[in-house]
Amino acid sequence: MVQQSRIRRLAAPIGIGALVAGLTMTGGIPAQAAPVTTTFKTTCQVTPSAVAGPVTESQEASATIDAPASVDAGEDFEIAVQPGPVGFPDSASGASIQNVSRIKLDIEIPENAEYLGAEVVPGTSVGLSGVAPNVLRINDSGQVDPNGPYLRLSGNNEVIGNSPSSSINSEGGIKVVATGKNIDGSTNPDGYTYFQLPQVKVLLKAGESGAVDLKLRSSGGAGNFNDDKNFLTFLPKASLIITAWAPTRCSPRDSAGGPLNEGAGPLASVQIIEADKETTTTISGPDAAKNGAPVTLTANIDPAPSGGTVEFSDWGTPIGEADVVDGSASIEHTFDSDGDHSITAVFSGSDGFIGSTSAPKTINVSTDDVATSIAIVSPDKAYVDQDVNLSAQVTPAVQGGTVEFVVDGQTLTAEVGADGAAIAPYTFTNTGTHRVIARYSGTDGFAGSVSPAFPVSVTNAPPEDVLTTTTLDPVGTVTPGSPVVLVATVDPANANGKVQFKLGNAPLGAPVDVVDGVATLPTTFLNAGTYSVTAEFVAFAGFVDSASEPQELTVPEPPTTSPFGSLEGFGS
């Protein structure tokens, strides 16, 4: 029992928490933020090899991180890890501590950063012997791995566990012999031996966004108490009557049974300044216009910024400027000369977004009404009693007026959208070839037109196939550039197939799978105007195609801002 007491008291004063006290990381290339110190408890278990049972020890530890406050996306930057001086007693209760060896310290390679390399800085350690310290990249098993998530400061991976070079009863790796001296070589009056682990420089490359968090190893098994994967482990060697080995494993927690504490969290966070995004500017507006009649010109910027301005030009001559709101900017302009006008839009750029110039858009301006043409686009075939959409396209695309579809002695009327499309739902009731004619009414500055007869082949659906219906949730008014989710429902819910969403006559992306009777499409709309949105169910074997009725979509003009602010009440 006497010998057990001595061994138990021998282990505690070794300073198991002291090995992390004063851990310092100093920055490299970018400008530095003020050092940040995090104080936390480290709890270790010491397991002597003879007589005594395990001993649990908790001590205060701290980490001071001196790292860049921020770095640019893709920038190389350097941090330096410098553990502070560490001390341990030469003796305890008559037992002599001969040395501490197999010291290792693990940190996690930060996420949002590419690891470029690390090196031990020569001449920055004091009191070390044994294997020269080095830095290795390891995996969770402690094996050297070029893709491992951890960095290990050790003596060539000779540690007490979590390594192919492990031992708990022999000296190895980084070793400190008890000398009773301070870092400067003077004799310590209290009989402590002090040593310093070397500085380690780590080179990283910042990712595209987010933050680079610097952490001690505490994920996975390293977060367990008394685990060989703990971020700090070492092997004291002592002698009284016999030689005793005391493998020690430390993790950041307040007690043996407690959870990980703040020492397992980020000890510093380096913010990544995102690179400015390249943009593409496009112009939307009519293909033709009437001399003297106002038209709306809209520039759409992708990805959508909020901020900056767009300047519109006609053959290089500025004709107006507007603020960008939610990725678009608009002006109203009146042409005063006939002929082709080449319109360009120049986005100035804004915080986080690079400026860009649109390709020219040609608008034909004339004094007389612009001639139009109209053609029926779909459908070319249909099934009896199954919903379809009669669809026509007016060229040039101009919003305004109506289209009358004449089919089977009936007349259906549909509004013409901003894209020149007109869509009307219809159900054929008998088989045969049906001819559809579309008549465009015309609108201010644009003449009406009539389409050629368009044949639609109508047949009976296979009797073994299941008829379907498709409905599209209302869309309504949406903000330019804001996310929108289109939702189509197919009945019955077990219908197997895909849904093709359309804006006017143009497909919106690729067909979407139907899951439990529902198909969804996240999208955005930029061009101001009023449109028709539809959903067409393309059935697989055993089911019959169907189409939803069109839903109206309105994309409002972006607000304009006076350079003088609000003019409300001016001159009153």
Tell me which residue of 544, 503, 497, 546 sits closest to 518, measured CA to CA. 497
Give the single-character DSSP code of 6. Answer: H
With bands split at pLDDT 50, 70 and 90, how would you rate the model's confidence at 569?
A: very low
Residue 568 to residue 59: CA distance in whole angstroms: 67
Position 243 pLDDT exceeds 90? no
- The pLDDT value recorded for residue 240 is 74
Mean model confidence pLDDT for the chain: 87
Position 151 pLDDT exceeds 80? yes
Q: Which residue carries 């490359």 as its tokens?
A: 205
- The pLDDT value recorded for residue 65 is 74
Give the single-character DSSP code of 3. Answer: H
Q: Topology of domain 2-273, per CATH?
A: Immunoglobulin-like (2.60.40)
Residue 25 to residue 36: CA distance in whole angstroms: 10
Query: Hey, which bits of 285-401 come out as E strands?
Result: 288-290, 294-302, 309-314, 317-323, 328-334, 339-347, 356-357, 361-366, 373-378, 381-383, 387-395
Q: Which of 159-163, 299-303, 369-373, 410-414 has the lowest mean pLDDT?
A: 369-373
Cβ distance 494 to 384 under 8 Å? no
> Token pair for residue 127?
């009191």
Span 504-531, pLDDT tens digits:
999 999 999 999 999 999 999 988 889 9
What lies within 8 Å, CB to CB, of 448 at 6+ separation is: 372, 401, 439, 440, 441, 442
CATH homologous superfamily for the domain 369-460: Immunoglobulins (2.60.40.10)
209-237 mean pLDDT: 93
Cα-based angle 559, 358, 394 (whole degrees, multiple of 5): 75
The rounded percent of the chain whose pLDDT value lies above 90 is 65
CATH number belonging to the domain at 462-561, selected among 2.40.30.170, 3.40.50.1390, 3.30.70.270, 2.60.40.10: 2.60.40.10
Span 57-95, pLDDT tens digits:
888 877 777 788 899 999 999 887 777 777 777 865 456
Whether the model pTM is above 0.85: no
The CATH 2.60.40.10 portion of the chain extends over 280-366, 369-460, 462-561
Position with higher pLDDT, 462 vs 37: 462
Q: Topology of domain 280-366, per CATH?
A: Immunoglobulin-like (2.60.40)
> Token pair for residue 461?
């659906």
With bands split at pLDDT 50, 70 and 90, how would you rate the model's confidence at 51?
A: low
